[in-house]
Amino acid sequence: MTQSRPFVADGAAGIVLPPPRTPAPREAPALNWGVIAPGRVATEFVKALRNHTAQKVVAVGSRDAERARAFAERFDIPAAYGSYAELLRDDRVDIVYVASPHSGHFEHALRAIEAGRHVLVEKAFTRNAREAEELIEAARRRGVFLMEAMWTRFLPHIDVVRQVLDAGLLGEVHTVLADHGQAMEPAPAHRLFAPELAGGALLDLGVYPVSFASLVLGPFASVTAVGTKAFTGVDGQASIVVTTASGAHGVLNTTLFARTPTTASISGSRARLEIDGSFYGPAWVRLIGRDDRTIDRFVPEQRDGGLCYQAAEAARCVSAGRLESDLMPLAETLRIMHVLDTVRRDLGVTFPGE
């Protein structure tokens, strides 16, 4: 069980971080999963399911049959298919995890929805808000569960953050800071530099700080961005300022050009929270007073396999007959996609076919 560890400073007695309410992933009802696109992310997802949940992966589909077979052998998955269509015809599959690059999310998730499968779609949900709207409408017509796999939203330390905000421990929130930058070698063939694959920093990395700011601040009143394009024309770096109707600000950065601290903070009139890098994965949280002293800290007991929490949430929702999650509602996913569209417009970046 992940717990808060009190670390009370002078004059701060009585202000402590609450323990997370996150259910144990292994206790979630077991579903039969099919995995689309057995790449790096799918590998980490299946490892997390095997090590930390009761979920069962029963099929994997790839455009390359040999790749599917190798993945199935590695993880003892019963069925391997050389096409996504074959996987979707397997009636053992309750829910599909779409692990392809985000340029393929719309097509692959739509196929799964039309096949009557529940769907967990890797972030970023789609290339743009128009595609997101179509997926959501299709899932509602078909009556299947749909959720963005923004794994951060389901982690224990984020539940601690939610409770702190709900309890008003920080006072009035004024500023949110968050960044995510990775130093990527410039290679035209790499998907993050390929316009035809919806490359760039924003959808792959920047979605994390944008989603975090949305979680903390709620809907934005304004979104403004400046940036620098990479040599292929995709967004290489973006700095984003968001505001709320109450006057709070979020200052967010993403880049392909440098490894940044990947930290986040929430500053209020009474105290602030700091989340160590990488803030979007299982991380420490510190509650810090106005005197800059640490009042309390939360340390997650589980630092690996963080993708298990999103799978467990999906399994709980599907088993309960729910079509979306309160922790990552579809309306929230759609709002974030609209924000990302706005940022790309400010940067002058469009994808082929838009």
pLDDT in tens, 83-104: 999 999 999 999 999 999 999 9
Q: CATH classification of 31-150, choosing from 1.10.286.10, 3.40.50.10330, 3.40.50.720, 3.40.50.300?
A: 3.40.50.720
Q: What is the pLDDT of residue 23?
A: 96
- pTM for the model stands at 0.94
| Residue 284: pLDDT over 50 | yes
Contact by Cβ (8 Å): 330, 150: no
Q: What is the rounded (10 degree) CA torsion for 137, 139, 140, 141?
A: 80
Choose among 248, 154, 214, 213: nearest CA to 335: 214
User: Which architecture, in CATH terms, is 4-20+153-306+325-347?
Assistant: 2-Layer Sandwich (3.30)
DSSP string, 150-163: -GGGGSHHHHHHHH
- In sequence order, the 6+-apart residues with CB closer than 8 A to the CB of 292 are none
Contact by Cβ (8 Å): 25, 314: no
Give the integer Cα–Cα distance in Å for 186 and 175.
33
Structure tokens at 77: 């998955």
Structure tokens at 109: 């998730």
Q: What is the pLDDT of residue 10?
A: 35
Amino acid at 163: Q
Give the CA angle between residues 180, 147, 143 to the nearest 5°.
Answer: 165
- Compute CA distances 226 → 22, 109, 141, 245, whole Å: 37, 32, 38, 22
For CATH 3.30.360.10, the residue range(s) in the chain are 4-20+153-306+325-347
pLDDT tens sequence across 109-158 = 999 999 999 999 999 999 999 999 999 999 999 999 999 999 999 999 99
- Per-residue pLDDT band for 6 (boundaries 50, 70, 90) equals very low
Contact by Cβ (8 Å): 242, 216: no
Give the integer Cα–Cα distance in Å for 253 and 149.
21
Cis preceding-peptide flag for 132 (omega within 30 of 0): no
For CATH 3.40.50.720, the residue range(s) in the chain are 31-150
H helical segments located in the chain = 40-52, 65-75, 84-88, 105-114, 129-142, 156-167, 201, 207-217, 308-319, 330-347
Which of 47, 56, 123, 229 is catalytic? The answer is 123
Q: What is the pLDDT of residue 207?
A: 98
Q: Is 229 annotated in the active site? A: no
H helical segments located in 115-261 = 129-142, 156-167, 201, 207-217
